[in-house]
Every structure is written in structure tokens, then in C-alpha cells.
A and B are shown apart, each in its own frame.
Chain A
Amino acid sequence: MSEIALTIDRARVRHHGNLLVDVADVDVAPGRPLTIIGESGSGKSLLAHAAMGTVPADLEVTGALRLGARSFDLSDLRGRRSLWGRELALLPQEPAAALDPTMRVRSQVAEGVPGFRWRDRGAGARADAALGRLGLSGAGRAFPHQLSGGMAQRVAFAATTIGGARVLIVDEPTKGLDPVALDQLADLLLEHCADGGALLTITHDLRLARRLGGDVLVMREATIVERGAVADVLGAPTHDYTRRLVAAEPSRWQLPWMRASTPEPAGPPLVTATGLAKAYGDQPLFEDLSLTIRAGERWAVSGPSGVGKTTLGNVLVGLVRPDRGLVDHAPALRDGRIQKLYQDPASSFPPRVSLGTALADVLGRHHVPPERLRSLLAAVGLTEDLLERRPGQVSGGELQRLAIIRAMLPGPALVVADEATSRLDLVTQETTTDCLMTGLADRDCALLWVTHDRDLADAVADQLLDLGLRGAAPRPPAPRRRSSCPAGAG
């Protein structure tokens, strides 16, 4: 297995003179997965698309690609089209969007068969076989909207690989997948490798990188900063950036506001919920659920996607009415003392006015002196000129910190964070979480964090509500893992 399946040689991608990718050489051997990790904007996705030949036309690409004995010029985008699906395949991001909503799943897989024609019986049979191997034998006649995220991912995998390509490029496959679906996908990818295929995976998810094994490349600001076997690089990183990246995993956090043990319930109750039930259509999300959130407590609601975490959060805040049961808010929560942080902070600000204008309304309504805003901005490391911009002109991490400041202005007693950091890079996630938790700890404010990430839930919360378990009941989380625990326990 020593021969090289795919080599990317001196790849450079420029946009109006800005260097977006500058990578000297990348080799992918059959049977040994190669994973590129790094934060968004590091150029890792562009590198994969440069190899595939799917970069937008206004980007300038140079370099070469070798497939076995053949060599291709990276700047020639059309030259590799004949390889697509047969020798070089790309598993797209967000399979739910990558499948044609108007076509049945079976046809979408069948058209990937080389030499496909209209109403091709043979291709249809092969598609059925491929779907059957992935445990989707009944799904051929379904439309994409009838599939779960994990099923759509497997359909996309079948459509990608049915052409028989040996080199498989996978672009950010973890978006929107819960841990179970992620495990299934990792198994499929490893199987492809075990059959002698070459695998190049782009991800920001360190857990997927560990799961796949093989080699890893760490990219930052267009270049590769570290490379080597996964266990070496993630176990004992040498580059500063890799070290920060690895330390930013929630399971390794060591931050001042973290509590070693769950405090005794002492404060007065803020939210008292009894016998809550809510259904989505005819599917029950939760039934007969009761809990009490007291002042200063830290709660996390966890579970796989589609289980009703967000709905529960909204029911507790009072934004959604439960089908049955009662939610009682203490008087301490009136007048804006209950605040919410959103997954996409940009959507939580009025999009067409400046951030300063939006915040000025909050200051005015709650009689907060402008100096308070200034000191809060300084405390989270934001400059005041940010306030002149609109939400769309600020990065996600900065905007979420601004949203945290906004939530702090009315002096809240309870903050609900709905997947508030799940769209952020690991490092940004750590700083943003630190920001929020420091603010909460300062004023003994209660927290309800809704997240699919168990490690994060364990790090921030004292009480965990796992909706993934039937008959969910609140319980304290497992003993907190500190960074001394072996990596990859998740």
C-alpha cells in the first residue's frame, strides 16, 4: 500500500491578489485516511475544491494534481470533469441541500452510474443494491425531504461512490449531524479506505479526525502549520496554533468560572415547570416533564437533533405554549430579566440598522448608562467602532459576544443559550463561552444551555437534562472530566 493515489503539488488559490491557499504538497495513500483540520477561513475547503476542480471561476488557481501516473493542471477546471464520479468523487456538505428536492432518491443515486442514460434499468438496479448495502433498501422511492439528516448523508454517500471512484474527498461532513449519524458516516468512510480507496476529509471536528485515524494536516491562514499521524499531532501538538486548537475542546477547558461540584439547590425558584408535554405534529417531543430552575443554577438540555431541545427551551422561556402542563415565572424574571442567545447571532439583531442604534434602544428602555456598555465592550475585547456596523458586517464570534453584552444590559436573572456557540470555531467557542459564563458568574445569573454537544454541556452546566433518553429526568452530569483524562474519551 505504499503507492500514492493522489498528490496535490504546490497548490495556490488567489482572489484579487489575496492568497487564500498556499500548500506545497499533499499526498494521499490508499487505505490511509488524510484529514485536514483548521478553522473556517483557513482555506481547507478551498484546497479540497481546488483538487476537485470546483472552485468558483473568479478564483485564480495554480499547481498540479497527480492521480496515479497522470498529472493535471489545477488551473484547468474542465480537464478533470471526465474524472468526476468515476475516479475523483466529492461528498458534499449538508447532504440535505445537496439532494435534488424534486427527484426520488433512487434516481439520484442511479444517475451517478458511469454512462447513465434516461430510464436506465441497469443503473436503477445498481442504485437499489447500493442503497440496500447502506441499510436504506426501503428509501429508494422517497423524496429527500422525507429522510432524516443521517439517512440523507448515506444517500449522498451512495450517490457519490456509485461511480466507483477510488479517490474520495469529503467536505465538512459533520454539519447538522448528531453523534449517532456521525459514527455511521465515519464507519462508511473507513470502509471505503479499507477497500483500498483514498480518503481526503476536510473538517473542523477533532473528534471525527481522531475517529478516522491516519494522518492529519492542520491548516491556518492558507498554509499547513503542522502534519503527522493523528495520535501524534492531537496528542502532543508542537505548533502553537494546534496546541490552542486542542486545548479549546470543551472536555479540556480549565476556566475560572467552572465549578468542581454541583452546589446544593439554595436560591429561590425562577422557573417552575410541571407536567410539560409538547408534540410536533403527531410525534411527541416530551411528556410529563417537570423541573425547577433556581437562581444561580446552571442547566444544560442535551440530546440528538430533532428531539425537541430548542422547543423545550422556548417553552421554559414562555415563547412557545406547551400542549399540556404549566410554566410559572417568578416575578424576578419580569421586565426583560429573562434573556436568550441564538445559534445565529446575526438573525437576532435588526438586520438593517446599525448595532449601536439597536443597543441604544436597549440602553434607553432599561435606563442603563452608556458607560456600562463601554465597560462591557472593553471587558470582552470589542472596540466601539463595531457599533457603527450592521449585523451582517461583523463576524459570528464578535456578534455573539455583542449579543451576550445585550443580554447582560437589562441585568438578567436567567439566560437561555440556544446552541449559542455551535456555529463557531473551537477557539472562538471557548472565548465566547468564557465571556458569557464570566458575565453570569459575576451576577449569579441562572443559565439554561441548549446544546447537542455533551462535552460542552458537561463543561458549562451543573444539571443536565438529556432529552435523548426516554422518560428524561433531570440528573447531575457525570463527574467532570478534566484535561488529565485521556483525549478522545467522547
Chain B
Amino acid sequence: MTTLSEPMRATARPARRSRASVLTRRVSTVLLGGLVLFAVVGPLLLADPAAQTLDRYLEAPSLAEPLGRDEYGRSVLSRLAHATRLSLVLATLCVATALVVGTAAGILAAWRGTWVDTILRSVSEVFVAMPALLVVLLVAATADGGVWALYVGIALAQWVEYFRVVRARAAVVLASPAVEAARLLDLGWRHVVRRHLWPDLRPLLTTLASLGMVTSILAMSTLGFVKVGLEPPRAELGLMVTESFPYYDVAPWLSLAPVTVLFLLTVCFLGLRRTETA
């Protein structure tokens, strides 16, 4: 055996990289905490986001209205708080549903094999061939901009990823000598789940979940943007971008506010990932 490869791994660079990634994660956590606070507390304190004051349309930012007013004279800050809350809550619901369903199905398929695996896999193949946005689009089309359609559509589009990743990974883990040894030692399935599967899947799932949050938030706003998601007058980040874009020249803050929040949300969730892979 050669010792050649070992010193190579022990270079100084990974240490610097990991320190940088710890910093990234910390900054992301703080920023995200701020956004969550804004989304939770904002709607309680701020004015009604739907209250129109038409004579104050496109009012510039001021101390009382830090982000100004939109074309109907509604408070942009208040609308933004509601939109952020909607994005976060809906995305969390979608990700949680997809994660639980996908992981359970993936482990089941890998563990039981045979016909269970075959059925689950063929179901997933159908969804793989369909771009996620298409699934969401089709489901969203069924229910006139309802929140439920978005939830079902996004969760339906996302569970496949968890299923595929978990199934592939769990199959490797379950076929490993370590699990074989555990079976010979008669340690039972609880040991296999707690000591083998869960420690192995946890970092993967964290990464997938934070990426899933990004995808969900982006999918919602994208659907809002192409006008097949939620419908006005609901405050939604994508819709806010669409609605404000015609006034980009006269009231740039209208567009910049939702774009900034959208960007910060995605950057934070990306920063939370454990691994560096895209």
C-alpha cells in the first residue's frame, strides 16, 4: 500500500475552504432568521396589504413607508411581509411533504426490492420524464390559482428527487458489508435504520431539503410571474415582480423589493447546504 494519496488529502486548502463554508452557513442562518422574523412579525404589525389608497399610488419610499406604495397605493412593505410569509410557509409544507413521502418510499423500495421496488420506480419514472414545472403547471391549472394546487403540484414534482436519491443511497448502504455484518449479528432493523441508514442519509436530506426550499420558492414565483400561479390581489413575490415591472422606470423600488427578498431567500438556503455540490 502506498502512502502517496494520504498527504495529498491533508493539504491546507480544504481547511480554509471548510472555515469559509462554516462562515457562509453562519451568515446564511442569521440572514434567514431575519427574513423569517420579518415574515412572522411583519404581517401582525403592518397595515392591511390589500388596503388601497389610490390617491397615493407609486408614492416614493419615506420614513413611514420605507418601501413606498405600489400602483394601487398599497403598502409595499406590508405586501412584502405577507408574500415572504406565504413563500416560506408554502415552501416548507411542500418540502416537508415531499421529503417524508419520498424518503419513506425510497427506503421501502430499497429494502423490500422485488415488486414494491418495481411499482414505486415505474411511478417515479413518469414524474422524472415530466419537468417539475410542467407538473406544477398542470396541477395549478386545475384549481384556478388556489394555494392547494400549488402545494400539491410542487410537492408532487419534488418527492421524486427524494425517492430517487434515497433509494439509490439506501440500496448501497443496505448492500454494504456493514449491514450484512449487522444482519449476521442479528441486530434487527432498528439498528440498521438508526446506525446505518439515518446517519448516512441525514446530510443528503439536509442538502436536498435546502435546495428544495429554493426550488419551491422559485417555482411559486415563476408561476406567479407567468400568471398561472396565485392570482392577484394576493401578495406573492413573483406576482409582485410582474405587476411592478411596467413601472420599473418611475418606481424602481417596486421591482427591487421583491427581487431582493427572492434573491436573499434563495442565497440563504443555498448557503445552508452542507456540501458544495450544485
A179 interface hit (Cβ, 8 Å) = no
C-alpha spacing A335/B186, complex, angstroms: 6
C-alpha spacing A353/B198, complex, angstroms: 10
A72 interface hit (Cβ, 8 Å) = no
C-alpha spacing A362/B195, complex, angstroms: 12
Bitwise, B251-268 to A at CB < 8 A (1) or not (0) is: 000000000000000000
Q: Which residues of A contact B37 (CB under 8 A)?
A: none
C-alpha spacing A361/B195, complex, angstroms: 9
- In the complex, the answer to whether A410 meets B4 with C-beta atoms within 8 Å is no
* CB-based nearest A residue for B195: A350
- In the complex, the answer to whether A336 meets B184 with C-beta atoms within 8 Å is yes
Select B177's contact among A335, A347, A366, beta carbons within 8 Å.
A347
Bitwise, B174-198 to A at CB < 8 A (1) or not (0) is: 0011101110111110010001100
Most chain A CB within 10 A, of B2, B7, B187, is at: B2
A339 interface hit (Cβ, 8 Å) = yes
A406 interface hit (Cβ, 8 Å) = yes
B199 interface hit (Cβ, 8 Å) = yes
Chain B at the A interface: SS class:
helix
Q: By the criterion of a CB under 8 Å from any partner CB, how many residues of chain B are at the interface?
A: 25
Q: Which residues of B contact A56 (CB under 8 A)?
A: 4, 7-8
C-alpha spacing A351/B201, complex, angstroms: 12
Select A59's contact among B7, B177, B186, B199, beta carbons within 8 Å.
B7
B4 CB → nearest A CB, Å: 6
B207 CB → nearest A CB, Å: 15
C-alpha spacing A58/B15, complex, angstroms: 15
Select B3's contact among A45, A353, A357, beta carbons within 8 Å.
A45
A41 interface hit (Cβ, 8 Å) = yes
- In the complex, the answer to whether A351 meets B3 with C-beta atoms within 8 Å is no
A260 interface hit (Cβ, 8 Å) = no
- In the complex, the answer to whether B8 meets A365 with C-beta atoms within 8 Å is no
- In the complex, the answer to whether B186 meets A336 with C-beta atoms within 8 Å is yes
A398 CB → nearest B CB, Å: 15
C-alpha spacing A348/B2, complex, angstroms: 22
Bitwise, B1-30 to A at CB < 8 A (1) or not (0) is: 111100110111000000000000000000
Q: Which residues of A contact B178 (CB under 8 A)?
A: 347-351
Q: Which residues of A contact B188 (CB under 8 A)?
A: 365
Select A365's contact among B176, B177, B187, B196, beta carbons within 8 Å.
B187
- In the complex, the answer to whether A357 meets B185 with C-beta atoms within 8 Å is no
* CB-based nearest B residue for A171: B2
- In the complex, the answer to whether A340 meets B180 with C-beta atoms within 8 Å is yes
Residues from 334 to 364 in A contacting B, C-beta threshold 8 Å: 335-336, 338-340, 342, 344, 347-353, 357-358, 361-362
* CB-based nearest A residue for B198: A352
A46 interface hit (Cβ, 8 Å) = yes
- In the complex, the answer to whether B180 meets A336 with C-beta atoms within 8 Å is no
A46-B3, A58-B8, A352-B199 are contacts. A339–B187 as well, Cβ < 8 Å? no
A319 interface hit (Cβ, 8 Å) = yes
- In the complex, the answer to whether A93 meets B2 with C-beta atoms within 8 Å is yes
* CB-based nearest A residue for B200: A352
Q: Which residues of A contact B10 (CB under 8 A)?
A: 15
Bitwise, B151-186 to A at CB < 8 A (1) or not (0) is: 000000000000000000000000011101110111
Select A350's contact among B1, B3, B8, B199, beta carbons within 8 Å.
B199
- In the complex, the answer to whether A336 meets B185 with C-beta atoms within 8 Å is yes
Q: Which residues of B contact A41 (CB under 8 A)?
A: 3
A10 interface hit (Cβ, 8 Å) = no
Q: Which residues of B contact A172 (CB under 8 A)?
A: 1-2
C-alpha spacing A336/B182, complex, angstroms: 9
C-alpha spacing A351/B181, complex, angstroms: 13
**Size class of A's contact patch?**
35 or more
- In the complex, the answer to whether B177 meets A342 with C-beta atoms within 8 Å is yes
Q: Which residues of B contact A350 (CB under 8 A)?
A: 178, 182, 195-196, 199
- In the complex, the answer to whether B180 meets A55 with C-beta atoms within 8 Å is no
* CB-based nearest B residue for A340: B184
A20 interface hit (Cβ, 8 Å) = yes
C-alpha spacing A45/B182, complex, angstroms: 36
Residues from 55 to 89 in A contacting B, C-beta threshold 8 Å: 55-56, 58-59
C-alpha spacing A15/B9, complex, angstroms: 12
- In the complex, the answer to whether A15 meets B7 with C-beta atoms within 8 Å is yes
A276 interface hit (Cβ, 8 Å) = no
Q: Which residues of B contact A93 (CB under 8 A)?
A: 2
Residues from 117 to 145 in B contacting A, C-beta threshold 8 Å: none
* CB-based nearest B residue for A175: B1
- In the complex, the answer to whether A365 meets B2 with C-beta atoms within 8 Å is no
C-alpha spacing A204/B1, complex, angstroms: 8
* CB-based nearest A residue for B188: A365
- In the complex, the answer to whether A362 meets B185 with C-beta atoms within 8 Å is yes
Select A358's contact among B1, B12, B195, beta carbons within 8 Å.
B195
Bitwise, B35-74 to A at CB < 8 A (1) or not (0) is: 0000000000000000000000000000000000000000
- In the complex, the answer to whether B181 meets A342 with C-beta atoms within 8 Å is yes
Residues from 218 to 265 in B contacting A, C-beta threshold 8 Å: none
- In the complex, the answer to whether A49 meets B199 with C-beta atoms within 8 Å is no
C-alpha spacing A78/B195, complex, angstroms: 48
* CB-based nearest A residue for B202: A352
Q: Which residues of B contact A20 (CB under 8 A)?
A: 3, 7
Q: Which residues of A contact B11 (CB under 8 A)?
A: 58
C-alpha spacing A353/B184, complex, angstroms: 19
A238 interface hit (Cβ, 8 Å) = no
A43 interface hit (Cβ, 8 Å) = yes
* CB-based nearest A residue for B191: A361
A251 CB → nearest B CB, Å: 22
B72 CB → nearest A CB, Å: 55
Q: Which residues of B contact A349 (CB under 8 A)?
A: 178, 181
Q: Which residues of B contact A15 (CB under 8 A)?
A: 7, 10
A445 CB → nearest B CB, Å: 14
- In the complex, the answer to whether A49 meets B4 with C-beta atoms within 8 Å is yes
- In the complex, the answer to whether B180 meets A410 with C-beta atoms within 8 Å is no
Q: Which residues of A contact B187 (CB under 8 A)?
A: 361-362, 365
C-alpha spacing A191/B150, complex, angstroms: 74
- In the complex, the answer to whether A353 meets B195 with C-beta atoms within 8 Å is yes
A317 interface hit (Cβ, 8 Å) = yes
- In the complex, the answer to whether B199 meets A317 with C-beta atoms within 8 Å is no
A260 CB → nearest B CB, Å: 32
What are 14 of the A-B contact pairs (CB < 8 Å)? Answer: A46-B2, A58-B7, A171-B2, A336-B185, A340-B184, A344-B177, A347-B177, A350-B196, A353-B199, A361-B187, A365-B191, A409-B185, A410-B186, A423-B1
Closest 5 CB pairs of A and B: A352-B199, A45-B2, A336-B186, A40-B1, A350-B195
- Residues of chain A touching chain B, judged by Cβ–Cβ distance below 8 Å, are 15, 20, 40-41, 43, 45-46, 49, 55-56, 58-59, 93, 171-172, 204, 317, 319, 335-336, 338-340, 342, 344, 347-353, 357-358, 361-362, 365-366, 406, 409-410, 423
| 15 further interface pairs, Cβ-Cβ under 8 Å (given A58-B8, A59-B7) | A46-B2, A49-B2, A56-B7, A93-B2, A336-B185, A340-B180, A340-B184, A342-B181, A349-B178, A349-B181, A351-B200, A361-B195, A365-B186, A366-B185, A409-B185
